[in-house]
Amino acid sequence: MSKMYAMVGEFASPEELMNAAIAVREKGYRKVEAYSPIPIEGLADVLDFDDPRLPWSVFIMGVLGCATGFGLETWTATMNYPWNVGGKPYFSWPNFIPVAYELTILFSAFTAGLGMLILNGLPRLHHPIFNTPRFERASSDLFFLAIEAKDGLFDREETAQMLQDLGAQLVSEVEK
């Protein structure tokens, strides 16, 4: 026997999807995803699609990259290979800025790329939402709202009835 992944409602317009998303969130559901062929302004805010882990990770790794650049240059110029050029001091920090800047960008860029892949759960060859009837039209002309079964308020009958009451053309149970 397979487990249920979500209850999915199919909507005909972005306005219907937005209204349904607002109503679902007001009822207290938190494990909600929306699928749309076009960007819908405000939908991400309604669904509380805000994950601060990636920006903070990029910032922290950028600072670490900068510190690594300065540390590498400082160690090299003052301890490992001190070389007096033209009477300048060994620790001539303005010369260290290009390396520190480049390592800041390098660490930040790799963190952003890898963090995006990890937080999005990629690579993923198949997702249970693909089992939704007519879901291929989510990239052309239909709008879908999925309430995951692991949501604390999820009840099979009540959730299906709520989606129908919100104007869903079709309500489907999606299995894993």
Residue 160 has pLDDT above 90, yes or no: yes
Looking at 58-67, 83-92, 111-120, which range is the least confident one? 83-92
User: pLDDT of 96-136, one tens digit each?
Assistant: 999 999 999 999 999 999 999 999 999 988 999 999 999 99
Cβ(21)–Cβ(170) under 8 Å? no
Q: Which amino acid is at 22?
A: I
pLDDT at 2: 57
Mean pLDDT of 47-53: 88
CATH number 3.40.50 given to 4-51+128-175: no
* Strand runs labelled E in 104-176: 143-148, 170-175
Q: Could you tell me how far CA 14 lies from the centroid of its own chain?
A: 21
Residue 95 has pLDDT above 80, yes or no: yes
pLDDT at 164: 96
Contact partners, residue 11, CB within 8 Å, separation at least 6 = 17, 20, 142, 143, 144, 145, 167, 168, 169
Q: Is 28 helix (H, G, I), strand (E, B) or coil?
A: coil
Q: Is 56 helix (H, G, I), strand (E, B) or coil?
A: helix
pLDDT at 84: 85
Looking at 83-92, 135-144, 162-171, which range is the least confident one? 83-92
Query: Cα separation of 154 and 5, whole Å?
Result: 11
The winner for highest mean pLDDT among 47-51, 89-93, 150-154 is 150-154
pTM over 0.85: no
Residue 1 has pLDDT above 50, yes or no: no
pLDDT at 50: 80
Domain residue limits, the chain = 4-51+128-175, 53-119
